[in-house]
Structure 1
Amino acid sequence: MTKALENVVEGGERHRVALVGTGHRGAGMWGRELLAGWRDRAEFVAICDVNELRAGHARNAIGTNAPVYTDVDAMLAAVRPDIVIVCSRDDTHDEIILKALEAGCRVITEKPMTTTPEKCRRILEAEIRTGNPVDVTFNYRFAPTAARLKQLLREKAIGTITSVDFHWYLDTQHGADYFRRWHAYEKNSGSLFVHKSTHHFDLLNWYLESTPREVSAFGTQRNYGRNGPFRGERCGTCGHTRECDFYLDMSKDEWLAMLYEEPSKEDGYFRDGCVYREDIDIPDTMTAMLRYENEVIVSYSLNTFMPIEGYHLAFNGTGGRIEIRQYERQPFDVPDHDEILLMRNFGSVERILVPHAAGGHFGGDDRLRDMLLREGTPDPLGQRAGARAGAMSMLCGAAAVASMKAGRPIRLSELGGLPEPA
């Protein structure tokens, strides 16, 4: 049987996939989990990471014999993949995406698509120039509750949307992790207004089916960084482990230890960096106001050291209000479903129960992988997100950072992150 025929499976072709970036997300969702559930649609032909030790450990954990590379150019030339999945550090996405597009590959990239308006423009221009597509992995769009909310909004269940209240809470486990890792520096992540809020801004853009016009934002550092009562280099060598509420013992997590501890000898990157490092330069408490082209106004906030994990979201319309409080982790029991409150002006209140689904992000991760790897998967709600969506959510974050620094509202048109009209 020829190699071409070997790759043809029932219902479509098995994609030849190269994974670039083998940290927790890359080795997990786009590595081990991908091969476990989508083996009929994907085969790994390369594993690439600047840290060869990490790439080797990840390859073994994923369960593939694909060759390991430390250089993207060499990998692209050697294996000529169909799809390149980009899971590297945020500020490196653009160069990898550009090289993959120029090599004739389709790209699937983790969010945020990139970290600066200039990099956004380069990616969009390359996509147009090469004709090769970029998909951005906004998995929250695929969560069952998000899909139900989208349906209600499209049905105009509360008339025309006039404003939105959106408040996201990261707990002392998840939130602190961003300050342990490379995300704690704006040059790497663009700040959490870019790295984390890109999820939330994308949801808003998708829900409202409009383009944000301007952003006014504030951000401050109140808990992490220089606010700490003591500090060290990393948890593993710190003398304050008994008195620090944020102490992380990585030896108790085999997965993290495998991906980061031994590989740290190669590049000096520690997964358990001190959350009180004085050079951390991103805010941990953020708020923003957004105005859309359709005149919807949004009040948004992100807090990173809460006792709860999840969000509160409300849509206010000319005919009523839709409200949801979703819990992801909290110190009290909650039901195994979400409850959407549909409240109509001068009418009844409807409680819409949405069961949680298995898998990451309440089943959103699995639905996303189906959409990207199983050809013909229907998309009636427009959940699949391309480079334009990736750019618009990132530009919201960039505008928030610019507003925070300048002390004034920032129009997205000021940022220059979109290609000039032909």
Structure 2
Amino acid sequence: MRTAIVGTGHRAQLFTEGLAKRDAYEVVAFCDPNSVRMAFHNRMLLAAGRRTAHLWPPARFEEMLRVERIELVVVASVDATHDLYINAALRAGARVICEKPMTTDAVKARSILDTVEETGGTLSVAYNYRFNPVHRRVRELLAGGAIGSVHSVHFEWLLDVSHGADYFRRWHRDKANSGGLMVHKASHHFDLVNWWIGAEPQTVYAQGQLAFYGPGHEHGYAREYARAHGSGAAADDPFALQMAENATMRELYLDAEGEDGYHRDQNVFGAGVSIEDDMAVLVGYDTGATMTYHLTAYAPYEGYRVMFNGSAGRLELNVEESTFTGITLRPFWSPPVDHTVDHDHEGHGGADPRVLAALLDDEPTEGAEVADARQAALALVTGLAANRSFETGLPVRTADVLRL
């Protein structure tokens, strides 16, 4: 299958490497504004014993589809540009795999859904967390009635001051690019809840703030520099990204700056941050269930806790990244039962290779199906409604944001 990859940043490496290992696919084209990053991915193909791909600028994307006879397009570009490539590829008759989120606003989401309907094409969105064995086990227990009918969900996600800070160094810090963490990051989690409890969000109320990152916070961590590379002020800053010390970061970003001026190592406490770092959300679902959700992007450790309350008991998931995972079922009038399953701690808990297999090999998904366009829109709409609620201070009906 003749394949093109659009967007050749860090996340696209998963797809370049995965496709290069599969004889059923040939990556014949890369499309990106930066030829240095595309050359990096071509070296990945060569290292896997595959032929290099042709390099195309985004302005010639539709020409690329035609000239290269593309059958599959993988979209891993900046989130706000996903719709441009998805719609053009579907209209050209290609199958599309898109990194999450599907897009960043309701107008673009509606255009994608309309294009899927008009063309009858196939769009799959890589919500890889569905393929984590721990998350699959949670769904099995809930679907099997382990706690009866699910009435409420309490979900807390913690990004630590390494991973969390990274969203404030790079293009994600601008909400126009990423939709903010409610869209870029939390859509992962909203998709999980939709999938876990078999429900669709109907109402959202949210409050969000930029409490820690960005300028003007009196916590003593800020240093005076625009970007870390070449700055003496960043030398002892634990929040600074030193790209020259990492071969991949150096080749993908530092060496590529001369072409597009993109700085991957911006000061997390500098100007230009328009996304929130502390967000609280209340969601009502069509089943009558509710969810309280909180995302903190400046925690001392990385992990998450999810609790489900039902008519027959409670299910608890507790994860501290790379160190601890626990699934505990607490039935009424019975001792707790441990349902923890083994899983990898790398690659999103072993989800990355499994989602690739589901997307590219048509392998049985063992209870986790790939998200289609509508499911991806349902994951997106909670975050879009939360962003609107941030602005208005009022509850928001998801149908008023995006009718599905």
Name the TM-score class by shorter chain: over 0.9
Matched to 1:291, the amino acid is G
Residue in structure 1 matching 2:69, options 58, 80, 83: 80
Cα distance in 1 between the residues matched to 2:30 and 2:2: 12
> Does the 8 Å contact 2:156/2:305 carry over to 1?
yes
Cα distance in 2 between the residues matched to 1:41 and 1:150: 32
Q: Secondary structure at the match of 1:396?
A: helix
Cα distance in 2 between the residues matched to 1:264 and 1:94: 25
Matched to 2:223, the amino acid is F
1:168 aligns with 2:157: yes
Residue in structure 2 matching 1:180, options 166, 169, 173: 169
> Does the 8 Å contact 1:172/1:307 carry over to 2?
yes
1:54 aligns with 2:47: no
Cα distance in 2 between the residues matched to 1:97 and 1:417: 20
Cα distance in 2 between the residues matched to 1:156 and 1:40: 42
Describe the shift of the 1:134–1:238 C-alpha distance in structure 2 as closer, same or farther (beyond 3 A).
same
Residue in structure 1 matching 2:136, options 147, 150, 158: 147
Please name the residue that 1:406 is paired with.
Answer: 392
Cα distance in 2 between the residues matched to 1:359 and 1:232: 33
Matched to 1:411, the amino acid is R
Matched to 1:34, the amino acid is L
Structure 2: gaps (5+ residues): none
Matched to 2:390, the amino acid is M
| 1:136-180 superposed Cα distances (whole Å, 9 cap, x missing partner) | 000000000011001001101011000001110111111011000
> Does the 8 Å contact 2:223/2:234 carry over to 1?
no
> Does the 8 Å contact 1:120/1:417 carry over to 2?
no
Cα distance in 2 between the residues matched to 1:101 and 1:72: 13
Please name the residue that 1:323 is paired with.
Answer: 316
Q: CA shift at 1:192, angstroms?
A: 0.5
Q: CA shift at 1:383, angstroms?
A: 2.3
| 1:12-64 superposed Cα distances (whole Å, 9 cap, x missing partner) | xxx221100000001x111124323xx23321111111112211222113334
Q: CA shift at 1:358, angstroms?
A: 6.9
Q: CA shift at 1:359, angstroms?
A: 5.0
The within-5 A match list for 1:328-407 is: 328-329=321-322, 334=323, 338-357=325-344, 359-375=346-362, 377-379=363-365, 381-407=367-393
Q: CA shift at 1:276, angstroms?
A: 1.3
Cα distance in 1 between the residues matched to 2:225 and 2:346: 36
The within-5 A match list for 1:168-247 is: 168-227=157-216, 229-247=222-240
Please name the residue that 2:122 is paired with.
Answer: 133
Q: Which moved further from structure 2: 235-244 or 97-106?
A: 235-244
Cα distance in 1 between the residues matched to 2:61 and 2:208: 36
Residue in structure 2 matching 1:32, options 3, 17, 23: 17
> Does the 8 Å contact 2:6/2:31 carry over to 1?
yes
TM-score by length of 2: 0.94
> Does the 8 Å contact 2:181/2:276 carry over to 1?
yes
Matched to 1:200, the amino acid is H
Q: Secondary structure at the match of 1:108?
A: strand
> Does the 8 Å contact 2:19/2:26 carry over to 1?
no
Q: Secondary structure at the match of 1:287?
A: strand
> Does the 8 Å contact 1:119/1:417 carry over to 2?
no
Q: Secondary structure at the match of 1:269?
A: coil
Q: Secondary structure at the match of 2:215?
A: helix
Cα distance in 2 between the residues matched to 1:287 and 1:370: 34
Q: Secondary structure at the match of 1:405?
A: helix
Please name the residue that 1:108 is paired with.
Answer: 97
| 1:44-102 superposed Cα distances (whole Å, 9 cap, x missing partner) | 11111111221122211333411111131221121121110000000000010000000
1:289 aligns with 2:282: yes
Please name the residue that 1:273 is paired with.
Answer: 266
Describe the shift of the 1:217–1:69 C-alpha distance in structure 2 as closer, same or farther (beyond 3 A).
same
> Does the 8 Å contact 2:210/2:276 carry over to 1?
yes
Please name the residue that 1:5 is paired with.
Answer: none
> Does the 8 Å contact 1:222/1:284 carry over to 2?
yes
Q: CA shift at 1:267, angstroms?
A: 0.6
Residue in structure 2 matching 1:261, options 245, 254, 260: 254
Cα distance in 1 between the residues matched to 2:74 and 2:356: 12
TM-score by length of 1: 0.90
List structure 1 runs of 4+ shifted beyond 6 angstroms: none
| 1:295-354 superposed Cα distances (whole Å, 9 cap, x missing partner) | 11001011111111111011110111100111215xxxx35xx32100001112101121
Q: CA shift at 1:126, angstroms?
A: 0.3
Please name the residue that 2:305 is paired with.
Answer: 312
Q: How many residues align?
A: 394
Cα distance in 2 between the residues matched to 1:175 and 1:33: 26
Q: Report the RMSD for the aligned CA atoms in angstroms.
A: 1.4
